[in-house]
Amino acid sequence: MDYLDILRLLDSTLRLATPLLLACLAGLFSERAGIFDIGLEGKMLAAAFASAAVAVWASAPVDNPQLGQLSGLGWGWQAAWLGVFAGIVASVFLSIIHGLASITLRGNQLISGVAINFLAAGLTVLISQNIFKRGGQTPPLTGDARFSEITLPFAETLSSVPIIGLMYSEVISGHVIFVYVGLLCVPLTWWVLFRTRFGLRLRAVGENPGAVDTAGISVTRLRYAAVIICGVLCGLAGAYLSMGTAAAGFGRDMTALRGFIALAALIFARWRPWAAMWACLLFGFLQAVSTYYPKVDVFGLFVIPSDFMEALPYILTVVILAGVGGKAIPPRAGGVPYVKER
Amino acid sequence: MSDVAQTSKGRSDATASLPPAIELSGISKSFGPVQANKDISLTVQKGAIHGIVGENGAGKSTLMSILYGFYQADRGEIKINGKPTQIHNSDDAIAAGIGMVHQHFMLVQPFTVLENVVLGAEDGALLRPSLAKARKLLVELAHEYELEVDPDAVVEELAVGLQQRVEILKALYRSADILILDEPTGVLTPAEADHLFRILEGLKAQGKTIILITHKLREIMAITDTVSVMRRGEMTATVKTSETSPTELAELMVGRRVLLQVDKDVATPGESLLQVKDLKVTDEDGVDRLKSISLELKRGEILGVAGVAGNGQSALLEVLGGITEASGGQVILNGQPLDLLGGNDAGDRRKAGIGHVPEDRHHLGLIMKFLAWENTTFGYHGEPEFNASMGLMNQREMLEDARGKMERFDIRPPDPKLKAANFSGGNQQKIVLAREIERNPDVLLIGQPTRGVDIGAIEFIHQQIVALRDQGKAILLVSVELEEILALSDRIIVMFDGKISGERLPGETDESELGLLMAGIDPKAESAA
Amino acid sequence: MKSIPRWADLALIPFLNLFLAFFVAGLVVVFIGEDPFRAMKIMLTGALGSDYGIGYTLFYTTNFIFTGLAVAVAFHGSLFNIGGEGQAALGGVGVAVVALTLDGTHWLITFPLAILSAAIFGALWALVPAYLQAKRGSHIVITTIMFNYIGAKLLGFLMNGPLKKEGSMAPESRRFEDGAQLPFMQDIAGWFGMEMTRTPLNISFFVALICCVLVWLLIWKSKFGYELRAFGFQQPAAIYAGINPVKITVITMVVSGALAGMMALNTVMGEQQKLVLDHVQGAGFVGIAVALMGRSHPVGVLLAAILFGVLYQGGTELAFEIPAISRDMIVTIQALVILFMGALENLVRFPVEGMFARLSRGN
């Protein structure tokens, strides 16, 4: 393994960490406000489908036989952005269902999350099959309808500079916009949470909603706000999966439990934004390793089978949940619907 | 318990010409079939300290929650400073100049004092300017009203008394003119309570109106100008404090003369039954709950444990009851040492002869969703008579057993197939007592036996405890009610900060001495030194 | 405290919730551009219109009884076992191990051993998440989901290696010999001189029914069930009563995993007569909907399992008749049932409670 291999691995790490990071920050907003959300997975999936489907439709020629009765919009790059918007809308819609169940109707948040995951798994394929008739997949996104990689300034020139320059051009540069947005969301989340009035109230409502209520602030409104932010971020994560990766389209169950890995990362990160980033990078790295090295030969003694390498990030999730590195204390009011005391 | 005699009374007379600060008329509120407030009218003058007394469940807290916008009244009108005011939520109440110090503090534990004060009263979307402003104001308020507290301290690390100050500061920061305090002294030592009263006097001097909800008559007599009595959701009287007496208030509260004395003979303690040596408990967070406790319990005596809530009494009950592990020390029961380090759970403790009526029956003592008959064997469900073969239970026997207990302890309604949650507080407590007493334990641990229990049941419960003592059993009684401790105990220990701060005999002490011990001050030791 | 009559709690509210779930499912069908009433008719006749349909329906029902009971038992301890999928997958390995070794004997010998082995394998796969939850507080929902995935990979590894049929490309075991093939319902009917159409419905159906009774005894009549329910309602109180939380959590999950694992009897030993990669086919997840719908009571679970059996068999027919309504419609209905009967239960409960409160005040 030479330096370039390592750089490729890191490059891949960044790509693979991005959906986890966006979903993890989504979960962070929700759980910091006291709403547990195991429906991240479903929201990402719904967004992945909605964005790909809408982008396909918007970018298709006006009289497109491929779409059956639907005629396309014939848009250019705008189609991709409309797709992102659609992804966010789909995800926020599911968020609002979760909000309705867990805030307004004081239902069980775990059950609601599970329902949303299944709902997304069923509906996406059902609708996709109904429109595109491709076994649940969307037609591949091509050209402007998908997001292409951005070469950062001077990446070409600097690539000749050893070590640092190469790092810049190989790892930092050359990602789709979602990767940069994801990374920017980390300081942004930190700032919102710890430097704004909204953040103060959000954190308070996850710890003691009674304190927020008696301070004259609506617990309901705050929690809905948090849940909707969660939806927006999950929407971005899903849009990235179908529009910004090599998949270039939606496929059945394409989120592959990333929503749950993001939750594990969130717990590992103790619900803190910067730590969340490192946790997601760690998981991204593991996924990168398992894709680059499907079978690992251990000193010629034996070969670690590919099934094991593929399961590795999932096994690590369990290990992390087992409390390696201390006990994680979630926000105190997490998972409990707010009822005024009697 | 405290000498807050330097109260300046009569201020309310001077300001009587102004419109009253609060005027409630015809307030009614019901929760389902329960009528919590019935047609209540109340007038409080500006700059007065007004007390509201009543038993648990008399409707005091509901009334104040209506005033603070936590609940909506079904009927009635609220006037603040003479103006009819609609209070739909806490925001409206704050806007009307009302602040509230809740019985269970409404604080965000991991936040700093400053963040807690600012929460909901920020000046803009960004936090820093708000925090800076609050910091300045906090210093001023602290200076003005003896409300010193470190603005950067994290609330969960503050003592209870200081947390209460933060609650008061929150209200003042929102420029409240009317301050409601709900049972503010329940968690305070007498010294802290005195300090609180000084703060209230200071606030009154600034023209603030204060409503004090309590069930402690002494406090009412010491600090209020006027007092209202509530009973079963109704306002039974409003009188000037100077023109009433504790006895009269007590009668108004209960509707008949209260029997504060418990009929009991002098104890005849027998052999020593339980010896506790250097018992230590450290909790999960590394906090020392018990710091080397030693005590002895004899047959035929009631040992009362007094103390402000949270000074280790709960930890003592839980470790003796086998719920938590000790971190050191020894407990010997009937000459046999108990395994305190987790080898032994609450079930083993019961087998060894320790019964336990826990402080919190809703969370520990009963499964609220279980039926009465399932609850009357709870903890003893492993006993052979309740079990058939193949791991199945003998439910007929359990039901029979429940019927007997319900009859003997006069538990109403006597229906073993009713959910525990559907019994009144007193009857729930009787279910727990019947279960623990009828197992005939050598030692009975009892925590807060009459909390949230109606007067009628209190007498019955006290009689049962004394009867058990007279059978030669040893009883460890934990209560935050000094009156109860004094009335029931044959010997009293006082706990402070996880240690025993003193031991007294009930005949040789009084509430004020115990109060000092509860604050960690031993008057005898001090005078000796 | 609001209270409503028992019949409203047990029948009216679940019925209205179920109605809502199916109403929304109907809207989805309309959205796809099909007629929901026609769809429903095809489903019902497909599932119940012939003894062929009924056989398949009950075959699916058998799966869902096992997985539904698995989730229900865990629910009583307020544990959410979403790992039924993985536990059933591993249960299949348990069945295969016994069947492949002993299929030279008779099914009367292999069957009891296979039951045991399926239960043990399923239980083992639930043991780790249970232990981590009990001892380390690891969120059992996430760990069981991870174990579903890890289980699938483990099964994949086994099917491509040790358990693979020699000389075959497909990831499956060799077919079990006669000694490890369970009698089908038509065979059993034959013993009594009756005739039935060939379906995969087999003797495991009766095992599932027996499990319903056993679970009922366990939860409501046994000492363990008493402790389990106490623990599920109020953990601190359970500790006060001397109930060991670690023990309860682990045993509950082991029972739950064992029930899920036993599902493999029906698919591996009954239907396929060999171990295939995806023999569970989402039945583990259906168990969640079944348990929620059945209010975690064995009778409720049985009824809900039959309903989902109808949906699955009817859905297969439906996908055949109206290709636009694929099998994913079933996943959607399942999601809607979980949503309306679980998470959004109060959507119906609050108004119903309000109605009864108004009625009682009127009296």
Domains within chain C, CATH numbers bracketed: 52-309 (1.10.3470)
Every domain of chain A and the residues it spans: 21-146+164-257
Q: Which of A119, A310, A318 sits opposite C153 (nearest CB)?
A: A310
Q: Which residue on chain C is closest to B348 by alpha carbon?
A: C242
Contact C240 B33 (CB under 8 A): no
Rounded to an integer, what distance in angstroms lies between the CA atom of residue B514 and that of residue B516?
5
* Four-point Cα dihedral A8, A9, A10, A16, nearest 10: 110
Map tokens 């997304």 to a residue: A120
C-alpha distances (whole Å) from C177 to each of B225, C98, C121, C263 are 94, 12, 22, 20
Q: Which residues of A touch C136 (CB under 8 A)?
A: 321-323, 327
Q: Which residues of C touch A112 (CB under 8 A)?
A: 339, 342-344
Q: What is the pLDDT of residues B12-39, one digit of tens each?
A: 444 446 889 999 999 999 877 678 899 9
Q: Which residues of C touch B358 (CB under 8 A)?
A: 240
Q: Which residue on chain A is closest to B31 by alpha carbon?
A: A342
Rounded to an integer, what distance in angstroms lies between the CA atom of residue C65 and that of residue C299?
10
Distance from CA of A21 to the nearest CA of B (A): 26
Q: Which of A195, A341, A342 sits opposite B127 (nearest CB)?
A: A195
Side chain identity at residue C139, one-letter code? H
Q: Do residues B435 and B378 lie in contact, with contact meaning Cβ atoms separated by under 8 Å?
A: yes
Q: Which of B31, B90, B110 sits opposite A216 (nearest CB)?
A: B90
Q: Which residue on chain A is closest to C146 by alpha carbon?
A: A314
CA end-to-end distance (rounded Å), chain B:
24
* Average confidence (pLDDT) over A90-106: 97
Burial of B175 (0-12, 13-18, 19+ CB in 10 A): exposed
Residues 6+ apart with CB under 8 A from B422: C1, C3
pLDDT at A1 over 70: no
pLDDT truncated to tens, each residue of chain C (363 aa)? 456 888 888 889 999 999 999 999 999 999 988 999 999 999 999 999 999 999 999 999 999 999 999 999 999 999 999 999 999 999 999 999 999 999 999 999 999 999 999 999 999 999 999 999 998 888 898 899 899 999 999 999 998 888 888 877 788 899 999 999 999 999 999 999 998 899 999 999 999 999 999 999 999 999 999 999 999 999 999 999 999 999 999 999 999 999 999 999 999 999 999 999 889 988 999 999 999 989 999 999 999 999 999 999 999 999 999 988 888 898 999 899 999 998 999 999 999 988 888 887 665
Query: Which stretch of A172-181, B263-272, B289-298 has the lowest confidence by average pLDDT?
Result: B263-272
pLDDT at B10 over 90: no
Q: Which residues of C touch A327 (CB under 8 A)?
A: 136-137
The enclosing H or E element of B8 equals none
pLDDT at B2 over 50: no
Contact B170 A215 (CB under 8 A): yes
* Average confidence (pLDDT) over B198-209: 93
User: How many other CB atoms sit within 10 Å of the CB of residue A13?
Assistant: 21
Longest dimension (CA), chain A: 70
Map tokens 């069981």 to a residue: C144
Tell me what ipTM this predicted complex has. Answer: 0.92
Question: Considering only CA atoms, which of C109, C104, C113, C265 is closest in space to residue C177?
Answer: C104
Q: Do domains B1-97+177-258 and B272-368+440-528 have the same CATH topology?
A: yes
Q: Which residues of A touch B127 (CB under 8 A)?
A: 194-197, 199-200
Q: Which residues of A touch B108 (CB under 8 A)?
A: 203-204, 207-208, 211
Rounded to an integer, what distance in angstroms lies between the CA atom of residue B282 and that of residue A287?
42
Q: Which residues of A touch C137 (CB under 8 A)?
A: 323, 327
Q: Which residue on chain B is closest to C356 by alpha carbon?
A: B32
Q: Which of B364, B379, B393 sits opposite C221 (nearest CB)?
A: B393
Side chain identity at residue C204, one-letter code? S
**The CATH number, out of the four listed (3.40.50.300, 3.30.70.890, 3.40.190.10, 3.40.1360.10), of the domain defined by the range B1-97+177-258:** 3.40.50.300
Every domain of chain B and the residues it spans: 1-97+177-258, 108-176, 272-368+440-528
Write down the pLDDT at residue B307. 87
Write down the pLDDT at residue B13. 46
Contact A200 B119 (CB under 8 A): yes
B363 reaches C (C-beta below 8 A) = yes
Q: Which residues of C touch B369 (CB under 8 A)?
A: 233
Q: Which residues of C touch A311 (CB under 8 A)?
A: 149-150, 153-154
Contact B381 C223 (CB under 8 A): yes
Residue from A192, A195, A208, A214 whose CB has the most chain B CBs within 10 Å, to mutate:
A214
May I ask the CATH class of domain B272-368+440-528? alpha beta
A210 reaches B (C-beta below 8 A) = yes
The enclosing H or E element of C163 equals none
A94 reaches C (C-beta below 8 A) = no
Map tokens 């091509």 to a residue: A142
Distance from CA of C148 to the nearest CA of A (A): 10
H-state helical runs in chain C? 6-7, 13-32, 36-48, 51-76, 84-102, 107-131, 140-159, 185-191, 204-216, 223-233, 235-240, 245-264, 283-293, 298-321, 328-338, 346-362
- ω before B129 within 30° of 0 (cis)? no
Question: Considering only CA atoms, which of C294, C284, C235 is closest in space to residue C78?
Answer: C235
Contact C221 B392 (CB under 8 A): yes
Contact A318 C132 (CB under 8 A): yes
Q: Which of C221, C233, C242 sits opposite B345 (nearest CB)?
A: C242
Q: Do residues B12 and B179 lie in contact, with contact meaning Cβ atoms separated by under 8 Å?
A: no
Q: Which of helix, strand or coil describes residue A43?
A: helix
Contact B109 A201 (CB under 8 A): no
Question: Considering only CA atoms, which of B214, B208, B210, B222 is closest in space to residue B141?
Answer: B208
Contact B392 C222 (CB under 8 A): yes
Residue-wise burial string across B97-133, b where 16 or more C-beta atoms lie within 10 A, e elsewhere: bbbbbbbebbbbbbbbbbbbbbbbbbeeeebeebbee
Residue from C150, C285, C292, C348 whose CB has the most chain A CBs within 10 Å, to mutate:
C150
User: Token digits for B225?
Assistant: 């100008």
Contact B322 C242 (CB under 8 A): yes
Contact C345 A105 (CB under 8 A): yes
Map tokens 């609330």 to a residue: B155
Positive or negative: CA dihedral C66, C68, C71, C72: negative
Contact C237 B367 (CB under 8 A): yes
Q: Which of helix, strand or coil describes residue C37?
A: helix
Distance from CA of B323 to the nearest CA of C (A): 6
Q: Which of A203, A208, A332 sits opposite B106 (nearest CB)?
A: A208
Write down the pLDDT at residue A131. 87
Map tokens 């936040």 to a residue: B111
- Whole-model pTM: value is 0.89
Write down the pLDDT at residue B3. 40
| Helix pair A109-132, A78-99: axis angle to 10 deg | 140
Rounded to an integer, what distance in angstroms lies between the CA atom of residue B40 and that of residue B78?
11
Task: Provide the pLDDT confidence category of residue A65 given band limits of 50, 70 and 90.
Answer: low
Q: Which residues of C touch A111 (CB under 8 A)?
A: 80, 292, 338, 342-343
pLDDT at A210 over 70: yes
C-alpha distances (whole Å) from C206 to each of A9, A197, B200, C105, C306 are 54, 62, 74, 22, 14
Contact C328 A101 (CB under 8 A): no
Distance from CA of B254 to the nearest CA of C (A): 25
Contact A215 B121 (CB under 8 A): yes
Q: What is the pLDDT of residues B330-352, one digit of tens each?
A: 999 999 999 888 778 899 999 99
B125 reaches A (C-beta below 8 A) = yes
Rounded percentage of chain A residues whose pLDDT exceeds 90? 61
B21 reaches C (C-beta below 8 A) = no
User: Token digits for A77?
Assistant: 């790059």
The values of phi and psi at residue C90, to 5°, are -70, -35
Q: What is the pLDDT of residues B48-95, one digit of tens each?
A: 999 998 876 788 888 998 999 988 899 999 999 999 999 998 999 999
User: Token digits for B56?
Assistant: 């648990």
Chains that touch A (3 or more CB pairs under 8 A): B, C
